[in-house]
Structure 1
């Protein structure tokens, strides 16, 4: 196996980075390791920094990059607890990584001796010094509160573990002309259909790739989104225009297990490949904004609002738990703002 491996801090979490030239067999092999992930920005695969992985990839042992034995045992307890409550695998991985980062910082201290002052120290000396985001800090807080509630730690007051001040960022929205340019940029039918379905139904990337042919209910005119974020099912309307595109796509590709499959039959289309499909569309349509797939979902919601759709229906279509999450689109809708006349025009 022709690879290079080293210990790294990936998003300030101890990981083992593994680099090798693109090879189908090697990719399939590294995917067999638990929690193996690909970093598109760093261009390497990375795995948990465990003693077993260090030995396998011949990376020198360095226990200072890990929690102490008590901390490692605590993470196992935490993981088992989350699993028993049926948290999603992604949530379990995120929370365990967050707790591991926190316990690694205090690997010379017993878990039972951790105090509220330690949380503040961690925020200042680790999160802020490394210029980590408020969203990551909030994830750490979620993990800390949940974990210390489980073990009934008496030295830390969970209610006094504060969250970072929430950033008030507006969602990124494209104009209808920009959307049209992106969706018509590809001549490849599969690529065009995937991007069009994301926008026409306001789907998340994972929701699109988890669709099965049977989830397209043409008789009722809906798409069934199963067990999405928060393990919820929902339905969204299926436009006649996208239905015709889907029928043409189905006749050409004849997918079996998943609606959009990769080069190997019965396997989901790759997330990175889907992101590349969007990048190619942006290049072809000469759009120089840093557009992500989620921008299509934001644009769908905003365009619905601007066309007069009630905010309550948009909340249902997007699968939001709280109406406050959906209300953010009122701040980017230009329908009413464009009717306001600037006093500059009267000068």
Structure 2
């Protein structure tokens, strides 16, 4: 069974049912850590609204997409609720199901920053002013560099602890990332120096269990808080936002890292298909097919690369289906 870290202390009228559902899923061998956090939020919602039944009218607000909630997280949340209802109905309840969310749009194309835009974003982050009861002027410059330079997911960066950073070996360790994949990634000397200076300034360099990017209360930063700070940085940098669900998003820094890495390899004349498994492992993908999508995107963005790839390989470049969170 996969290890799980978080078990909520349910307190709503449905605390027994929620606990039984979570225990059932984990007994089936599922980690269910992210889902446990969602169930915890749902339990708090039930308490706050004093809900005693799962009628559509009672939980209408919970089923709606949040103001700053992406399509992916909303899809996961509604899917989890439907699984909960299925489970409860199998145990004697008669709860109506909400309409299933259609599958995520696989035609989504990520926003790839130019190198000039990346420089502009980092310069803007470096010039953030100190605000009362906030440390984002220290956190954001380093977090954005880590996201872009190492291709991390935002959830992975926000969960990093001091003990996961090895400045001597110049590595950062991602433990139990997406799909429960752990990996250790190399960092450049300049990035290590930046992180070292940041940790000293934050006064947390000698406390291994502290978050690398803590709130002023030394808690884990929420993705929403980081995203809002990122949106402000984009605005100041003169990079337009395409609207809800269109980006640029924080996750696009990871996409940009992948495309820029492949661009560099191809221009250097490296065998991209030979190195693809390495990039796949670096990104924490389940398989190489998730990584090959970046080869087509790189070719589409840089037409001269497409000809280089065609000359080197007989196999077609794979179609694209992008990771969205």
* Per-residue deviation, 1:147: 8.6
Partner Cα separation in structure 1 for residue 76 and residue 199 of structure 2? 42
Question: 1:327–1:150: structure 2 CA closer, same or farther, 3 Å change rule?
Answer: farther
- Counterparts of 1:1-347 in structure 2, within 5 Å, are 51=13, 76-84=19-27, 85=29, 87-92=31-36, 104=54, 167-168=105-106, 169-185=108-124, 186-187=126-127, 188-255=137-204, 256=207, 257-264=210-217, 266-289=218-241, 290-308=247-265, 310-334=275-299, 337-339=302-304
Report if aligned partners of 1:138, 1:164 keep a CA contact under 8 Å in 2. no
Change (3 A) 1:134 1:176: closer
How far, CA to CA, are the matches of 1:201 and 1:194 in structure 2? Answer: 10
Separation in structure 2 between the aligned mates of residue 138 and residue 190 of structure 1, nearest angstrom: 28
TM-score w.r.t. the length of structure 1 is: 0.57
SS at 1:235 equivalent: strand
Q: Equivalents in 1 of 2:84, 2:237: separation in Å?
A: 46
Give the equivalent residue in structure 1 for 2:5: none
User: Which structure 2 residue ranges, 5 or more long, are not aligned?
Assistant: 1-7, 47-52, 58-62, 65-69, 92-99, 128-136, 242-246, 266-271, 308-325
Give the unaligned 5+ runs of structure 1. 1-32, 36-47, 52-68, 108-125, 154-161, 342-347
Q: How far did 1:149 drift?
A: 9.3
1 CA distance for matches of 2:120 and 2:36? Answer: 38
Cα displacement string for residues 233-277 of structure 1 (whole angstroms, at most 9, x for unaligned residues): 11112011211111211221122312122212x422343332232
Q: Deviations over 1:264-304 (max 9, x none)?
A: 2x422343332232122212211112322111111111111
Distance 1:237 1:198 in 2: 13
Instruction: After TM superposition, give the deviation of residue 320 of structure 1 in Å.
Output: 1.0
The structure having more radius of gyration, on CA atoms, is: 1
Q: Indicate the SS of the match to 1:280.
A: helix
Distance 1:322 1:145, change over 3 A: farther
Higher strand share: 1
Assess, with a 3 A threshold, how the Cα gap between structure 1 residues 134 and 336 changes in structure 2: closer, same or farther: closer
Question: Any conservation in 2 of the 1:170–1:331 contact (CA below 8 Å)?
Answer: no
Superposed CA RMSD in Å reads 4.3
- Structure 1 residues 136 and 271: alpha-carbon distance in aligned structure 2, compared to 1, 3 A threshold: closer
**CA offset digits 1:107-163 (Å, max 9, x no partner):** 9xxxxxxxxxxxxxxxxxx99xxxx9798668766876899699989xxxxxxxx99
Distance in 1 between residues matched to 2:233 and 2:104, nearest whole Å: 33
Deviation at 1:213, TM superposition (A): 1.8
Q: Name the count of aligned residue pairs.
A: 249
Q: Secondary structure at the match of 1:184?
A: helix
Say which structure, 1 or 2, has more relative contact order (CA 8 Å, 6+ apart). Answer: 2
Structure 1 runs of 4+ with >4 Å offset: 72-76, 93-97, 103-107, 132-153, 162-166
